[in-house]
Structure 1
Amino acid sequence: MTGEGDGTKTCQVDVVVEEHEERTRAKARLAWAGRDFVGVGLARLDPADEPVARIGDELAIARALSDLSNQLMALTSTDIQSSTHQPVTGLHR
């Protein structure tokens, strides 16, 4: 994460997609608040479907980003609860 000095912050998510036979795996990596997060997404070709690599890539990437999002939501919930000493509700609105 880097600050721009004008109140904005930027971070980068790196996604790596690997294909092996009829399976696709994506890893999404993010460094945030001094921690590294890795989301993983998997997709496999249904034997009845035509092989279109782009679709498997998209699905695996979407799942990896969703996994990453869930990890960040869990971190946020923990941070809020630590700060407020109250149970956290309503984050998924």
Structure 2
Amino acid sequence: MRFLICAVLVAAAATPAAAAPCSTRIAFVHRVIDKDVKIGFVDKKVHDAMTADLDQATKACDAGDDATAQKLISSTQARHGYPVRGQPEE
């Protein structure tokens, strides 16, 4: 399990956040937080808050507003302690 977590973190660090389209990035963050809540790394309340934020990013992404979606994803990650690579911190 530790290897999987390390692999995810290395992959996230190696790929700039802005390089992935918003839909790909949203799906990636969902997978990470789903696994994190499952193994007890984050509380269900944090997962629920992040999911609500990502739902807003999904709406922007679906509307074709990639820039807004990317900003929402980055701010969600930063607010909840997940590293954001390739973009300035807010």
TM-score grouping bracket, smaller chain normalisation: 0.3 to 0.5
TM-score w.r.t. structure 2 length? 0.33
Q: Larger RCO: Structure 1 or Structure 2 (Cα < 8 Å, ≥ 6 residues apart)?
A: 2
Instruction: Name the structure where strand makes up a greater proportion of residues.
Output: 1
Which protein shows a greater Rg? Answer: 1
TM-score w.r.t. structure 1 length? 0.32
